[in-house]
């Protein structure tokens, strides 16, 4: 870690770990995390997810904002789907999967985005190709 260094000299992962530690030091009843595993290596990310699951099991409230659907599936009792800054659906994972007839949260998200006209079929194929590592055109999916 970079204890003797100024925070701005720390890596992204070190900054993220520091921010998480600072937010938890006073043992709050409610914690709000925006992308808590952003910038962390896979082992550190698993540690954070495991910790948040344990923290929730202690009766604490964890509010999580994430683009990583597997984290939301693992950690959240209730899920709100946001598109263009608005909550377009919410419910438990089971409720959302049943409502949208999809097997997982990622598929629910993309189905809602298509239904709202935000994600077009061509964009779906570009996303799938980029995820599969087939994007040769230099475009970025954000």
The angle that helices 105-115 and 121-131 make with each other, rounded to 10 degrees, is 150
Dist. CA 72–CA 39, nearest whole Å: 17
Answering whether pTM is above 0.85, one says no
Query: What is the torsional sign of CA 135, 138, 141, 142?
Result: positive
Tell me how far apart the alpha carbons of residues 30 and 55 are, in angstroms, rounded to a whole number: 10
Task: Give the angle 111-49-27 at the CA atoms, nearest 5°.
Answer: 125
pLDDT recorded at residue 16: 79
**pLDDT tens per residue across span 6-34:** 767 788 778 877 888 888 899 999 999 99
Q: How far apart, in whole angstroms, are the C-alpha atoms of residue 109 and residue 83?
A: 9
* pLDDT of 142 higher than 60: no
Residue 74 has pLDDT above 70, yes or no: yes
């Amino acid at each position: 870690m970079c204890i003797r260094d100024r925070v701005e000299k720390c890596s992204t992962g070190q900054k993220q770990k520091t921010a998480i530690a600072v937010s938890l030091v006073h043992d709050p009843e409610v914690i709000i995390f925006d992308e808590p595993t952003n910038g962390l290596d896979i082992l550190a990310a698993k540690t954070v997810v495991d910790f948040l699951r344990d923290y929730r099991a202690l009766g604490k409230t964890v509010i999580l904002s994430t683009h990583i659907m597997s984290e939301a599936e693992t950690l959240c009792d209730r899920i709100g789907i946001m598109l263009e800054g608005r909550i377009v659906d919410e419910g438990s994972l089971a409720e959302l999967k049943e409502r949208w007839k999809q097997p997982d949260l990622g598929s629910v998200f993309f189905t809602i985005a298509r239904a709202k006209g935000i994600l077009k079929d061509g964009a779906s194929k570009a996303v799938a190709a980029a995820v599969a590592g087939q994007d040769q055109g230099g475009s970025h999916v954000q």
